């Protein structure tokens, strides 16, 4: 059970992801980071099937960095989101589809903050707030112990304090 959430503000985007890396019912890691830094102001949050998440996210990450190396400037969040969606769509009808759910959060100089929701069927939606999974703590049968929180604004990506929600 994994959880991602993002909220777009007037001049920032706030994102959080849980920290659990699980293998069936066992938590293998309690401090696993599900956010991938695509560029100075773009974060990709990725959950889904075990190997697919890291493979796909790293693939996107390296390609975005390659774009910057080739062209001298970075992809905008909108462009990165559409590039990601196109890749998901291309693989969807191949023999090896990627089963990943994504949130892409970024800050663009001209457009401001942006949050994009993508899922494994390669749908893409720009939304003011979005989530994947269940983050409820009071009503859900499983509790996720801790969350990484980051905020993106015109300065870049900042880490905020980890949320550790103890049992109430």
Partner 1 sequence: MALENFCNFHDILEDQVTTDRSAVFQTKKTLHTYSSDLALGKSRSLFHFYIPVSEYLDESPIQFGQISAIQSAAVSSEEPCSASSCLPYSLPFASSQSVPPPFPMSHGTTTLAFIFQGGVLAAADTRSSCSGLVACPASQKVLPIHSHLVGTTSGTSADCALWKRILARELRLYQLRHGRRLSTGGAAKLLSHMLHPFKGTELCVAATLCGWDGEERNDGRHDHQKKEMDFSSCEKTSEICEEEKFVSPTSEQRLVSEKPSCSGPSLVYVCSDGTRLKGTLFSVGSGSPYAYSILDQEVHWGLTVNKAVSVAREAVYRATHRDAYSGNCVDVFHVTSKGWTRRNREDLKEEYYREKERQKQEGRGRKQKQEATLSVKT
Does residue 49 interact with partner 1 by CB under 8 A?
yes
Which of 32-40, 105-113, 116-124, 129-137 is the region at the interface with partner 1 (rule: CB under 8 A)? Answer: 32-40
Closer Cβ to partner 1, 99 or 126, answer by number: 99
Q: Which of residues 64-123 bind partner 1 (CB under 8 A)?
A: 91, 94-96
* Whole-number Cα distances in Å, 120 to 60, 89, 148: 15, 9, 23
* Whole-number Cα distances in Å, 71 to 65, 66, 158, 163: 10, 8, 26, 38
Give the nearest distance from C-beta 24 to partner 1 in angstroms: 4
Q: At what angle do helices 77-92 and 50-71 cross, to 10 degrees?
A: 130
Does residue 33 interact with partner 1 by CB under 8 A?
yes
Number of residues that bind partner 1 (CB under 8 A): 28
Q: In sequence order, which residues have a C-beta less than 8 Å from that of residue 117 and are 6 or more positions away?
A: 6, 102, 103, 123, 124, 125, 126, 127, 130
Give the nearest distance from C-beta 53 to partner 1 in angstroms: 8
Query: Which residues of this protein are in contact with partner 1, per CB under 8 A?
Result: 21, 23-26, 28-33, 35-37, 49-52, 54-55, 59, 61-63, 91, 94-96
């Amino acid at each position: 059970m994994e959880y991602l959430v993002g909220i777009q503000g007037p001049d920032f985007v706030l994102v959080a992801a849980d920290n659990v890396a699980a293998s069936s019912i066992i938590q293998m890691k309690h401090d696993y980071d599900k956010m991938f830094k695509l560029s100075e102001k773009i974060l990709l949050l990725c959950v889904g099937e075990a190997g697919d998440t890291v493979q796909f996210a790293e693939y996107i990450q390296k390609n975005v960095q390659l774009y910057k190396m080739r062209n001298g400037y970075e992809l905008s969040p909108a462009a990165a989101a559409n590039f990601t969606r196109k890749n998901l769509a291309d693989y969807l009808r191949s023999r090896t589809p990627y089963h990943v759910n994504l949130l892409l959060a970024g800050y663009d100089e001209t457009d401001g903050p942006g949050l994009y929701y993508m899922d494994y069927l390669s749908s893409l939606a720009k939304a003011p707030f979005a989530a994947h999974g269940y983050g409820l703590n009071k009503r859900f049968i499983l509790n996720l112990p801790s969350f990484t929180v980051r905020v993106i604004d015109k300065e870049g990506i900042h880490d905020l304090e980890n949320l550790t929600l103890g049992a109430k």
